[in-house]
Structure 1
């Protein structure tokens, strides 16, 4: 989510259910020549709010054209920045030869460059994301993007393997921050689940396809140029060329930051003690950082629903990275393909992910329709309705695809058969990760634990993406192509029962959780 998940910036998706509104029971309008409406809470402190529901500075009030322009820029970033993660896998043999790195029959040392990338993502999400929430979308994105570009330069010029491993740790962390910063744009400017449905679905799909497209897009570099450094030279060209687009189009979308800047300007020009509610309520940064680092782990190991959901989503996301290893072993071992050709075949996963986006959109429609039959909180969608389509996607897509991939990997069976298995898994991955992100957000929506819960999921996804592929070399060598993929299929089968249990007993499970009870009762 990974991230991903990161997919969503959870506190935004959980709390930004409707546009900010003034609390009429506490506020009395005080214009005093100010551009925004204020309310006195004490004799000397004034709380700044929006200047009515139609305040043009409120991102919810932007024109639809402007919203889609900003969203398009954000989604473009979501697609291209993850390419840095997996693109290096098509050059593993060339990098090993230049830096004398040894891949053994039971372990692939070349994969440490991707493991460090994913570990950076897991750490940066937990530790640095709260700081990004303070500085705002625009400044946070631009600063992180520039540092990301600087980290790609030593990857292109590296003179030893350690340089690649270290610098990719930081570039992976930057990608995680960029993706989560971009994901917050959607709930910042689109009000309500129905309005966010399409852009959120596109965000998750583009992040996954961006993570998957690295090998097929950069395989021609190794096939026609033959110099692995051009993988990073091309990335530098792309990322530098498109930076002006982000600089011009990505404006500040975070309402709390916009108001905070207004308040700071008014304090400076009027000399009055004018603050936003978020400034008054926000604890010190050190306290928030400590909570951001400890609360996700605490929830993960005390909340069975969150633990099972994290395992389910993390395994699905980890298979994207695992296929960068297993596809080369299978298609080169069975069909004698070159490393570049095995990179191309991974585009089948992308096809599946795009098809999965359509299924995820249908899932969102089922979720919204469930509000008419919700006896727990009438008028509100049922959280477990997020999971209906994911059951089919998990059993048919991830599990079925793994078995197809396993038992069609024979020389006498055309290559398209295991490629179809890859596409099926891609379909399942897209729906599962979307469902988990939405379900966890809804389950914790009315409490202040949603951000920590999603951080746990995102960190879990990055950790599994870091370490699961390290087992691929040993599994596919010792168990054989068929039984290695079959083992993964059985693991997926076990995890696929999680949504079935949630749909069956989700209401009772939420009622037993002290962190989800508020959400279960439907409170705002």
Structure 2
């Protein structure tokens, strides 16, 4: 017999039969629902995840200015291996999300982020003790797998806690880590490489990560609704079993959450979660299109990170430490774009929602909707190729270094504008499976981030900086504007 009942913790349930009851939130204003948390609590979760997300991108690129020192100590001159020392970390970003994102939808966001971060910490610290390029490449690959967790899951944490009309600013703050990290890392790494052993590049990031891990243990709370309701159901079961009025029959009701299937085995849940990113990518054309565009941008991003030392040391004859300061231009472009997104994305979304009869659409993030508003991804698809042309031809013609840095600023700006819009769109489209959606586009994106630095030197040796960047900017226009 089906009926509504009130439980001891004021949870609202409906009895399906005599033994099964469905556990849900206690109404739309239940304070236990992460979307109803106080604003300070929401931002605390977002900022902690943003710190986790900052660490691994710093580690991914901090090695770039020290590559020549490492290759000299190891006695190697292979340019492909030199590029792989940096980019192999990003290959871990491609593999990790395929199972870490789904795992967060089975065991919760907080638990997966913290255990994956410990895995990253162990391998990143070990990188400082390597004695061959092979050891360093293998250790950095394993570190990249663990470091991919916050990048994959962090956007889902924002989706768990913020309503769509509040989500743009939170995504803008959170997404600073994946973008600022690869720009900040080489800037710091250049001075470490010039003043101390390159091994301190890894040890310094490990020390910083320990501090972030301690903060995460103390402050990062679970946000995934199915896991929170599952804990609630287990608590109700324990309370029922401890009720002395039940006598010998302590468990008379089986509690299930609204998210549970009939088959509650972890094997079934885990199988679905593991295959979900691949299914989303195979069946959702919009993920395929935006994923391809993100992949190109990410590949260009890491191509710039690995070739900037060559440009400023060989063309402008700057020392390693001074060369690292040019990464400030890349980071400044990202900071400016993030500020712009934080000020505009939510306003555009709210404006479009009001003009659409109060109905929000994920498309308000990435494209003009019936002339209601123009998301920032539109100018981003123009700013990015302009910056590439400026930096490439500036270096080719040996113009003043400020011209190249201005171009790099525009590249950073175009990247962050596009990334944040696309990532917020995916979270809006798949709020419950946001981690899987991000993992779906993250796989191809990270493959490009891994592969582009490997052919960068050969491309620039053959075409030069001007023509090489012209080719890449033409591809960005051809793919980005239609997308």
In the aligned structure 2, how far is the partner of 1:466 from the partner of 1:230?
Answer: 23
| Alpha carbons of structure 1 residues 113 and 283: separation in structure 2 relative to 1, 3 Å | farther
Which residue of structure 2 lines up, in the alignment, with residue 244 of structure 1? 214
In the aligned structure 2, how far is the partner of 1:288 from the partner of 1:401?
Answer: 45
Say whether the 8 Å CA contact 2:156–2:434 is kept in structure 1: no
Which residue of structure 2 lines up, in the alignment, with residue 425 of structure 1? 411
Q: Deviations over 1:103-134 (max 9, x none)?
A: 24xxx312223332112111111123212222
Which residue of structure 2 lines up, in the alignment, with residue 109 of structure 1? 81
Which residue of structure 2 lines up, in the alignment, with residue 507 of structure 1? none
Structure 2 SS opposite 1:47 = strand
The more displaced of 116-125 and 413-422 is 116-125
In the TM superposition, residue 466 of structure 1 has moved relative to its aligned partner by 0.7
- Matches for 1:67-146 after TM superposition, within 5 Å: 67-104=42-79, 108-146=80-118
Say whether the 8 Å CA contact 1:367–1:383 is kept in structure 2: no
| Alpha carbons of structure 1 residues 62 and 294: separation in structure 2 relative to 1, 3 Å | closer
Which residue of structure 2 lines up, in the alignment, with residue 504 of structure 1? none
In the aligned structure 2, how far is the partner of 1:242 from the partner of 1:450?
Answer: 24
1:322 pairs with one of 295, 300, 303 = 303
Structure 2 SS opposite 1:28 = strand
Which residue of structure 2 lines up, in the alignment, with residue 213 of structure 1? 184
Q: Deviations over 1:416-459 (max 9, x none)?
A: 110100000110001111222233455x459x887654432111
Say whether the 8 Å CA contact 2:365–2:422 is kept in structure 1: no
| Alpha carbons of structure 1 residues 193 and 321: separation in structure 2 relative to 1, 3 Å | same
In the aligned structure 1, how far is the partner of 2:103 from the partner of 2:175?
Answer: 23
In the aligned structure 1, how far is the partner of 2:403 from the partner of 2:479?
Answer: 25
The more displaced of 286-295 and 205-214 is 286-295
- Matches for 1:260-279 after TM superposition, within 5 Å: 260-270=230-240, 271=251, 272-279=253-260
Which residue of structure 2 lines up, in the alignment, with residue 187 of structure 1? 159
Which residue of structure 1 lines up, in the alignment, with residue 425 of structure 2? 439
In the comparison of the two structures, how many residue pairs are matched?
463
Structure 2 SS opposite 1:479 = helix
In the TM superposition, residue 218 of structure 1 has moved relative to its aligned partner by 1.6
In the TM superposition, residue 320 of structure 1 has moved relative to its aligned partner by 1.8
**Structure 2 stretches lacking a partner, 5+ long:** 241-250, 368-373
Which residue of structure 1 lines up, in the alignment, with residue 392 of structure 2? 406
Which residue of structure 1 lines up, in the alignment, with residue 169 of structure 2? 198
| Alpha carbons of structure 1 residues 211 and 288: separation in structure 2 relative to 1, 3 Å | farther
In the aligned structure 2, how far is the partner of 1:258 from the partner of 1:432?
Answer: 33
2:380 pairs with one of 393, 411, 414 = 393
Which residue of structure 2 lines up, in the alignment, with residue 158 of structure 1? 130
Structure 2 SS opposite 1:213 = helix
The more displaced of 74-83 and 154-163 is 74-83
Say whether the 8 Å CA contact 1:47–1:274 is kept in structure 2: yes
Say whether the 8 Å CA contact 2:51–2:212 is kept in structure 1: no
| Alpha carbons of structure 1 residues 277 and 300: separation in structure 2 relative to 1, 3 Å | closer
Say whether the 8 Å CA contact 1:154–1:163 is kept in structure 2: no
Q: Deviations over 1:215-248 (max 9, x none)?
A: 01221101222x1001111112111133221111
The more displaced of 231-240 and 453-462 is 453-462
In the aligned structure 1, how far is the partner of 2:443 from the partner of 2:303?
Answer: 17
In the aligned structure 1, how far is the partner of 2:362 from the partner of 2:470?
Answer: 35
Which residue of structure 1 lines up, in the alignment, with residue 350 of structure 2? 368
Which residue of structure 1 lines up, in the alignment, with residue 442 of structure 2? 458
Which residue of structure 2 lines up, in the alignment, with residue 30 of structure 1? 6
Say whether the 8 Å CA contact 1:368–1:381 is kept in structure 2: no
**Structure 1 stretches lacking a partner, 5+ long:** 1-25, 500-524
| Alpha carbons of structure 1 residues 55 and 306: separation in structure 2 relative to 1, 3 Å | closer
Say whether the 8 Å CA contact 1:37–1:48 is kept in structure 2: yes
In the TM superposition, residue 317 of structure 1 has moved relative to its aligned partner by 1.7
In the aligned structure 2, how far is the partner of 1:128 from the partner of 1:75?
Answer: 17
Q: Deviations over 1:29-55 (max 9, x none)?
A: 232x34533221122111122234443
In the aligned structure 1, how far is the partner of 2:281 from the partner of 2:214?
Answer: 40
Q: Does 1:224 align with 2:195?
A: yes
In the aligned structure 2, how far is the partner of 1:117 from the partner of 1:170?
Answer: 8
Q: Deviations over 1:317-369 (max 9, x none)?
A: 22221112221222222111234433321221111111111332324422331
Which residue of structure 2 lines up, in the alignment, with residue 305 of structure 1? 286
Say whether the 8 Å CA contact 1:130–1:288 is kept in structure 2: no
In the aligned structure 2, how far is the partner of 1:244 from the partner of 1:385?
Answer: 35
Say whether the 8 Å CA contact 1:127–1:289 is kept in structure 2: no
Which residue of structure 1 lines up, in the alignment, with residue 139 of structure 2? 167
